[in-house]
Structure 1
Amino acid sequence: MSIPVMTEARRVKSARMETRVLFAGPEDGVPVVFIHGNLSAATWWEETMLRLPEGFRAIAPDLRAYGEADDAAKVDATRGMKDFSDDLDALMEELGIAGAHMVGHSLGGAVLWQMLADHPSRVLSVTQVCPGAPQGFGACGPDGGPAFPDNAGSGGGAVNPDLIALMKAGDRGDETPNHMRNVLNAFVWKPPFVPERMEDILTSALAQHTGDADYPGDATSSDNWPGAAPGKLGPINAMAPIYQSDPLGFTKSGANAPILWIRGADDQVVADGSLFDMGTLGAAGAVPGWPGADVMPPQPMISQTEAALTVYEGQGGDVERVVLDDCGHSPYLEKPEAFDEAFHAFLARHG
């Protein structure tokens, strides 16, 4: 099933891959590139794109392994977020864009930490919306290092297999907590909120490429709890802390782009105790055999991001922080007026 659109959609082939790219606003406008998160696609950004102030050009690609990106483009997880950031660099080159304001959500935010590290000249400003911590996602202690040398508890092996089976079947139902519809409604935004475009958003989430080379990716058996460690393929493995070669690289690259960090106060996905982190689930008794907080504590994702941004500020970087009350993991969908107020003002200051 193709994903419905309310903006202009084009196929764009860069030097690295071909994907669907959405556009809105005047072609000669100041470019703003939107990067979606996991279980998502460019579709999630469309209403935000259409609300941009006059004079801005919105651009939103489907990342490799997501949406309507080329099925043949796989993620080399051992490079961390580098496949994604290199794809963005190549896309901008193909579109003739020297630099752009960039907006990332969740996994898309993790991509932008890498973009700042590897391609800082491309970035005019960064708006981070509930971004993944620079240190990676899952089974990661306060110091940013994996709880076990093989990073057991993170990556594709930590994904619920029932969710994967339902995704592969394209099941749009709500009969179990593992159905995509219920996962989105329970965790990705704060209940009882449901987006007006829920069916289109669900379609784009189910367009996630699935399999051992995509989502959730492959896994390696481990003697460490909970018995599986990250494999080498797919976006979830790419987020594993073991593959983040230099989490604070963006503070060392010479990047000077201003950063706006917006998050929901009630985010359950990226949190100091994420409900998708094995340390958190083990501590809550949801996964038997947890080795304890001394071995695998809940990952302090918000604290890790705050510490990294404090380093960035110490290098002369400009950072603004906004926390929206009564809001979950998707502020631009849940609280569009409050989100736009902060985001548009940020663009006005730095556009």
Structure 2
Amino acid sequence: MTASPLRTRRVPTARLTMQITEVREEGEPVVLVHGNVSSAAFWRTTLPLLPERYRPIAPDLRGFGGTDPLPIDATRGLHDHVDDLAALLAALGVTRAHLVGWSMGGGVVMQYLREHPAAVRSVTLVNPVSPYGFGGTRGVDGILNSADGAGSGGGTAHPEFVARLAGGDRGEESPLSPRSVLAACYVKPPLRPAYEDEYVEAMLTTRTGEDHYPGDSTATTVWPGTAPGTRGVLNSLSPLHFRIDDLHLVDPKPPVLWIRGEDDVIVSDTSMFDLAHLGAIGAVPDWDGTPAQPMVAQTRGVLERYAASGGAVREVAVAGAGHAVHLERPEEFGSALLEVLEVLA
């Protein structure tokens, strides 16, 4: 395996112009999809790990990095990103690919598999968002806590974090600065990842506002007083708009690797970003007993049905790692990823 320098380029597609990061233009395609408040830069330690027989492609999603910042229609869930990805692969001449998705990118990958199963060689989910979205549900089957999706959507973001993101804050004087959130939540403290400055810059490429991050919101009389709107990132992740409970019906069923850090505080059954859990611990006032969303259990339930229907699923829980296991344990992550890639070798 020979390390190659990372390079970026913008690729015109039928929908928008997307920026991609890559190391070579030959080999079996492996598409790596980043998460929320990030960009393809978060794959910088992963891309060079892949042997030369693979062609890693890491796109910036719309509204992040160097891709056109078109608005996000949240009523389509993650379909804007899925359709953008399909257009990108068509422009690159890629008909089948391995898909790797981190956090929100895991949701994009699951939705892509649901829509285009024959185009997917394998799936790797890295600390993925629940198949029932982020916030506003209870139980392993993702039952809505309220018909209006209360507890999810654009109104759940902390206003100071949004303001510091929009203002280009590169410091860590506030616990709500992007750098502080990266250090406290993306990875498990006390680890400070290599290339931290580059990751902060990637976070700061996030477009903010009602069409992007966090999106608009709707007032509700149901605790915690905010329900999703129809525009922007967090609304696209609301269970009102994003729900994948029939993944087991896709045909064919490529192999799935689910790898996660056991100490993830973002995607967790006790997530520090879930208002219901925060209410239970007294961090959000007037909690009415709404249960926390069991995000990990929900993902496990969907993948167990996939396996019971004939799909191959492997779960890897990495002790001592947080939300960005690919940054925290690059060698361990790379080994697990290569295993699923080479199932079809």
Deviation at 1:249, TM superposition (A): 3.2
Could you list the per-position Cα deviations for residues 257-315 of structure 1 after superposition, in whole angstroms to 9, with x for gaps in the alignment? 100000011111111111100111011110001110xxx21000110011000110111
Structure 1, 340-349 or 260-269: larger mean CA deviation:
340-349
Partner of residue 90, structure 2: 93
Partner of residue 14, structure 2: 15
Deviation at 1:6, TM superposition (A): 5.2
Query: 2 CA distance for matches of 1:65 and 1:250?
Result: 27
Partner of residue 250, structure 1: 247
Partner of residue 181, structure 1: 179
Secondary structure at the residue paired with 1:270? coil
Secondary structure at the residue paired with 1:243? coil
Partner of residue 308, structure 1: 302
C-alpha contact 1:157 1:216 (8 A) present in aligned 2 = yes
Equivalent residue letter for 1:301? M
| 1:259 aligned to which of 256, 274, 296 | 256
Equivalent residue letter for 1:258? P
Partner of residue 332, structure 2: 338
> Percent same amino acid at aligned positions?
44
Partner of residue 34, structure 1: 32
C-alpha contact 1:16 1:87 (8 A) present in aligned 2 = yes
Could you list the per-position Cα deviations for residues 317-347 of structure 1 after superposition, in whole angstroms to 9, with x for gaps in the alignment? 0001111111001111001111112111221
The number of equivalent residue pairs is: 341
Deviation at 1:16, TM superposition (A): 1.3
Aligned counterparts, 1:183-262, within 5 A? 183-244=181-242, 246-262=243-259
Query: 1 CA distance for matches of 2:44 and 2:283?
Result: 36
Partner of residue 323, structure 1: 317
C-alpha contact 2:152 2:238 (8 A) present in aligned 1 = yes
- Aligned CA-pair RMSD: 1.3
Query: 1 CA distance for matches of 2:121 and 2:340?
Result: 12
Deviation at 1:8, TM superposition (A): 1.6
C-alpha contact 1:15 1:90 (8 A) present in aligned 2 = yes
Any unmatched runs of 5+ in structure 2?
none
Query: 1 CA distance for matches of 2:309 and 2:85?
Result: 25
Deviation at 1:225, TM superposition (A): 1.2
C-alpha contact 1:263 1:322 (8 A) present in aligned 2 = yes
Could you list the per-position Cα deviations for residues 218-260 of structure 1 after superposition, in whole angstroms to 9, with x for gaps in the alignment? 011111111111111111110001112x512322232411000
Equivalent residue letter for 1:223? T
Equivalent residue letter for 1:341? S
Query: 2 CA distance for matches of 1:113 and 1:237?
Result: 17
Moved beyond 6 Å, runs of 4+: none
Q: TM-score, normalised by structure 1?
A: 0.95
Aligned counterparts, 1:39-54, within 5 A? 39-54=37-52
Query: 2 CA distance for matches of 1:9 and 1:92?
Result: 16
Any unmatched runs of 5+ in structure 1?
none
Query: 2 CA distance for matches of 1:249 and 1:95?
Result: 30
